[in-house]
């Protein structure tokens, strides 16, 4: 003996809504279809489920017993459908990344989008603080940003460490002393970027007072201004080869706590949302295959 879900659905709808007519309306089916399913169900069970009279229909004792089981079965089916639908939805990840990664680590981002885990990754570009704000607001599922800014309740996984350097136009006289940068115009991509903290520390530790700070809004514009002698900039060394020719700028290499920028993967590690964690592990494996599983690498 077998029973179909559609038959149980029709049976329960008749009980819940009081008639075949109302059941047909609620299920968006023809009355004849509902009646046929009930007759088929009664035939399968070899029992009457309803007593029919001029005042309508009432359940038999067997019908009342079946109703309890049908309610449980249909509830389990609904839960299973919802769970599977959620699992399918959870394969999509909204990832925010800082702009310099779109230039210096295109291979990583391309691999993230085409990852073999079956994750559909939507990538947004921004600065560290704005991306963390969107993560906090639930607009993003994970971010790759400068380290040290994310609140403690997020999972933080260190990815890479980039050396920073000061660059200035090749048309300007060479600068041999860090203090000589005092009085210069400094160019930044964004005042809300992670490297702004490095720049502030550079000013403090190097006893540098800039003439002014100009926000450029993008690295291409920043490098164009540097090349044309508008000002100097503190940038990841990995950007220099990508954004200009070596003969267009001069580089002043730095030492100290402000001389590098650490980047980390940040997400909310929740059992009900395993997808960001799966992406974090995949990125970690891509960047540093020899590292331990994510369980042992949390920040």
DSSP string covering the chain, please? ----HHHHHHHHHHHHHSSHHHHHHHHT--HHHHHHHHHHHHHHHTS--EEEETTEEEE-HHHHHHHHHHHHHHHHHHHHHHHHHHHHHTTEEEEEEEHHHHHH-HHHHHHHHT-TT--EEEEEEE-HHHHHHHHHTTS-SEEEEETT-S-TTSEEEEEEEEEEEEEEETTSPP--SGGGGTT-EEEES-TTSTHHHHHHHHHHHTT---SEEEE-SSHHHHHHHHHTTS-EEEEEHHHHHHHS-GGGEEEEE--STTSEEEEEEEE--BTTBHHHHHHHHHHHHHH-TTSPPGGG---
> 216-268: per-residue pLDDT in tens?
999 999 999 999 999 999 999 999 988 999 899 999 999 988 999 999 999 99
* Cβ(299)–Cβ(151) below 8 Å: no
Looking at the whole model, is its pTM more than 0.85?
A: no
Domain map (residue ranges) of the chain: 5-89, 92-153+267-291, 161-260
Can you give the pLDDT at residue 86? 56
In 3D, which of 165, 164, 147 has the Cα closest to residue 156? 147
* pLDDT for the residue 280: 87
Kindly state the tokens that stand for 144. 């790759």
Architecture in CATH of 92-153+267-291: 3-Layer(aba) Sandwich (3.40)
Residue 3's pLDDT is 79
**Which tokens go with 233?**
């900039």
Q: Residue 290: what pLDDT? A: 46
The burial of 51, by beta-carbon neighbours within 10 Å (0-12 exposed, 13-18 middle, 19 or more buried), is given as: exposed
The C-alpha angle 139, 140, 144, rounded to 5 degrees, equals 145
At residue 1, the pLDDT reads 59
Q: Which residues pair with 145 in a beta bridge?
A: 264
Give backbone dihedrals phi and psi of 95, rounded to 5 degrees, phi first: -110, 130
What's residue 90's pLDDT? 55
pLDDT at 297: 39
Q: What are the b/e assignments for 234-268, b being 16+ CB within 10 Å?
A: bbbbbbbeebbeeebbbebebeeebbebebbbbbb
Residue 54, both tokens:
């001029």
One fold for 5-89 and 92-153+267-291: no
Please identify every stretch of the chain with a pLDDT value under 50, giving residue numbers as ranges.
290, 292, 295-299
d(CA 257, CA 192): 19
Residues in the chain: 299
5-89 has CATH 3.40.50.720 classification: no
Alpha carbon of residue 200 to chain centroid: 30
Confidence at residue 89, expressed as pLDDT on a 0 to 100 scale:
52
Task: For residue 56, give both structure tokens.
Answer: 């309508």
Q: Which CATH class is domain 161-260?
A: alpha beta
């Amino acid at each position: 003996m077998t029973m179909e879900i559609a038959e149980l659905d029709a049976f329960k709808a008749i009980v819940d809504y009081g008639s075949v007519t109302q059941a047909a309306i609620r299920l968006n089916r023809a009355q004849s279809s509902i009646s046929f399913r009930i007759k088929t169900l009664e035939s399968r069970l070899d029992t009457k489920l309803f007593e029919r009279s001029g005042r309508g229909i009432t359940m038999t004792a067997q019908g009342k017993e079946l109703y309890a089981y049908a309610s449980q079965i249909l509830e389990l089916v609904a839960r299973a459908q919802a769970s599977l639908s959620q699992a399918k939805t959870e394969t999509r990840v909204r990832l925010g990344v800082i702009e310099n990664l779109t230039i210096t680590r295109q291979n990583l981002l391309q691999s993230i989008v085409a990852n073999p885990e079956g994750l559909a990754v939507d990538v947004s570009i921004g600065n560290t603080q704005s991306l963390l704000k969107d993560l906090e607001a639930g607009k993003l599922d994970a971010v790759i940003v400068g380290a040290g800014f994310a609140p403690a309740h997020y999972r933080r996984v260190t990815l890479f460490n980039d050396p920073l350097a000061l660059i200035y136009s090749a048309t300007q006289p060479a600068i041999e002393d860090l203090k000589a940068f005092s009085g210069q115009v400094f160019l930044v991509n964004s005042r809300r970027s992670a490297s702004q903290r490095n720049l502030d520390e550079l000013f403090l530790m190097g006893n540098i007072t800039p003439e002014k700070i100009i926000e450029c809004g993008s690295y291409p514009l920043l490098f164009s201004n540097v090349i044309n002698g508008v000002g100097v900039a503190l940038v990841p060394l990995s950007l220099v080869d990508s954004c200009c020719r070596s003969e267009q700028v001069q580089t002043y290499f730095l030492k100290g706590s402000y001389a590098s920028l650490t980047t980390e993967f940040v997400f909310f590690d929740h059992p009900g949302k395993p997808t960001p964690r799966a992406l974090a592990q995949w990125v970690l494996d891509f960047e540093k295959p020899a590292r331990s599983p994510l369980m042992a690498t949390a920040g």
